[in-house]
Amino acid sequence: MPHFGLIDEYTMLPHEAALLRARLHIRSGMRRLRQGMLKEGLFTLYDSLYSGMRFYILSPENRDRFAGADGTQRTEEMALYKMLRHAGVVDGSFDFESFFALMEKLIDGVDVEINSTEALKGYDKLMTQLGVMPFDESALPPEDPTKP
């Protein structure tokens, strides 16, 4: 993953690690898309989205709001998204279910036509609603763009 070697998640508070991971993966995922690495870019952005949702529910100011969720719900992407949607944190303008289905097809090796612009429609807004974006890229640890 793009964050390997850039951060030590085990020395950070869980919400801080999730936020940094989300931002590193946004940077790397977008770079991969620009380089024509569509599947890799989308997988990386998917991980960023998952990390962004974890950041939101693990943040000290939000933790109590989602304390009733059991451990399974707090780690599964679809359940996290539904909890955040139900709580009014995100407005549903990002089609998470379609994005999730696309990721499952790509994991299964199904050959699909990918329009990254369409697949990511509303992604920036969702990440802004979660408090992940906007951010100053220069504040992130430098990456090695030669590494995929």
- What does the mean pLDDT of the chain come to? 86
| Total domains present in the chain | 1
Higher pLDDT, 31 or 72: 31
Model's pTM, two decimal places? Answer: 0.86
Instruction: Return the pLDDT at 65.
Output: 84
Instruction: Return the pLDDT at 78.
Output: 87
Asked if residue 144 belongs to a domain, the reply is no
Asked if residue 29 belongs to a domain, the reply is yes
Question: Do the beta carbons of residue 29 and residue 45 sit within 8 Å?
Answer: yes
Asked if residue 96 belongs to a domain, the reply is yes
Instruction: Return the pLDDT at 1.
Output: 44
Asked if residue 25 belongs to a domain, the reply is yes
Token pair of 116 as six digits: 């990254």
Looking at residues 135-140, what average pLDDT do you find?
A: 88
Question: Do the beta carbons of residue 48 and residue 29 sit within 8 Å?
Answer: yes
